Amino acid sequence: MSPRIAITSGEPAGIGPDIILSALQDDFAAQLVVIGDPELFRQRAAQLGLTVDVKVCNNLADLQEHQAGQVQVLPTALANTVTCGQLDVANAPYVLETLRITGQGCLDGDFDAVVTPPVHKGVLCETGAHFSGHTEFFQTLCNSPQVVMMLASQAMRVALVTTHLPLKDIPAAITPDTIKTVTRALHHDLKTRFGCDEPRILVCGLNPHAGEDGHLGREEIEVINPTLDELRQEGMNLIGPLPADTLFQNKYLQQADCVLAMYHDQGLPVLKYSGFGNAVNITLGLPIIRTSVDHGTALDLAGTGQASNGSLKVAIENAITMATNAQKRH
């Protein structure tokens, strides 16, 4: 049976609804179901001039194989009518509810994977909830001890030791325990989910020039090097820590399955420069399959028809492939 993939709405005032409507004009070999407010999708389709059949499904048993141009919606109501580009904190609980429904639905076996269009972290935090990202939200929901954010483009995969942390908190978060649990989770998933029999991981240093022998920071000497040595004793092929400014060149990337960066803006700008709009964000370490886009809510483009749906299509395709492979393994 083809996998059943749940797609959340994303921030309703952003480009989430736009890219869902345009991406689902294409064929996908799966049952696709969007969790959201059907009226939002009807209104946005009209605004974009798209002909879309928005089909409300109150029962999962009614879901059918995706047909190009059709959007099957499991209804969840918005609090307020949406104006493109204008955040409304009253609609933030709706966004969180779509995440809860899909995450719990994956845990319960109702969905085989969840794909998340972009949310706006700031407006979700204004509800009083602490929301730093989907990665951390699903970690909490699934009670997972360690998750890893990995983005993949055609050119490279980049995983992160730390995710959405203020820059000032990063050195203290780069501990032997964190490096070990993240690297083990990454190594495990590269083998089991991405077909890398003996994963080769390029590891970035934290400081400029990987600390310049301790003259520009001591984390490499005191924390990163000894921890990588311990992990090598477990049989892992780890290269580094290398200076992050020169690691991202083909002669290194070609010998590796993934780069492990120490923090968000060390690794992701390079990946996004190499493939913005066509990369996928995958959360590793969860008991469920979750993929996402490589971009944010782009409030400036909502309702204009100018938002690219490329990354969402890659995220859906990756979710289908990962869910199909998981079905074969069981």
Ligand X SMILES: N[C@H](C(=O)O)[C@H](O)COP(=O)(O)O
Ligand Y SMILES: NC(=O)c1ccc[n+]([C@@H]2O[C@H](COP(=O)([O-])OP(=O)(O)OC[C@H]3O[C@@H](n4cnc5c(N)ncnc54)[C@H](O)[C@@H]3O)[C@@H](O)[C@H]2O)c1
Bind-site residues for substrate: 134-135, 272, 281, 290
Specify the amino acid at residue 125.
Answer: C
Residue 139 binds to ligand X (criterion: CB under 6 A): no
Residue 133 binds to ligand X (criterion: CB under 6 A): yes
CB of 206 to ligand Y, least distance (A): 23
Cβ proximity of 92 and 1 under 8 Å: no
Rounded Cα distance, 32 and 294, in Å: 20
Q: Which residue, 152 or 268, has its beta carbon nearer to ligand X? A: 268
Q: Which of 42, 55, 121, 188 binds ligand Y (CB under 6 A)?
A: 121
Task: List 75's β-bridge partners, or say none.
Answer: 36
Nearest by Cα to 320 from 87, 38, 65: 65
Q: Which residue, 72 or 281, has its beta carbon nearer to ligand Y? A: 281
Q: Which of 66, 134, 157, 187 binds ligand X (CB under 6 A)?
A: 134
CB of 50 to ligand Y, least distance (A): 16
Specify the amino acid at residue 47.
Answer: Q
| Stretch binding ligand Y (CB under 6 A), from 101-109, 214-222, 241-249, 290-298 | 290-298
Distance between start and end Cα atoms, the chain? 13
Sign of CA dihedral 313, 315, 318, 322: negative
Q: Which residue, 183 or 292, has its beta carbon nearer to ligand X? A: 292
Rounded Cα distance, 178 and 47, in Å: 46
| Stretch binding ligand X (CB under 6 A), from 129-137, 166-174, 199-207, 245-253 | 129-137
Sign of CA dihedral 35, 37, 42, 43: negative
User: Where does this chain bind ligand Y (CB under 6 A)?
Assistant: 15, 118-122, 134, 277, 281, 292-293, 295-298, 300-301, 307-308
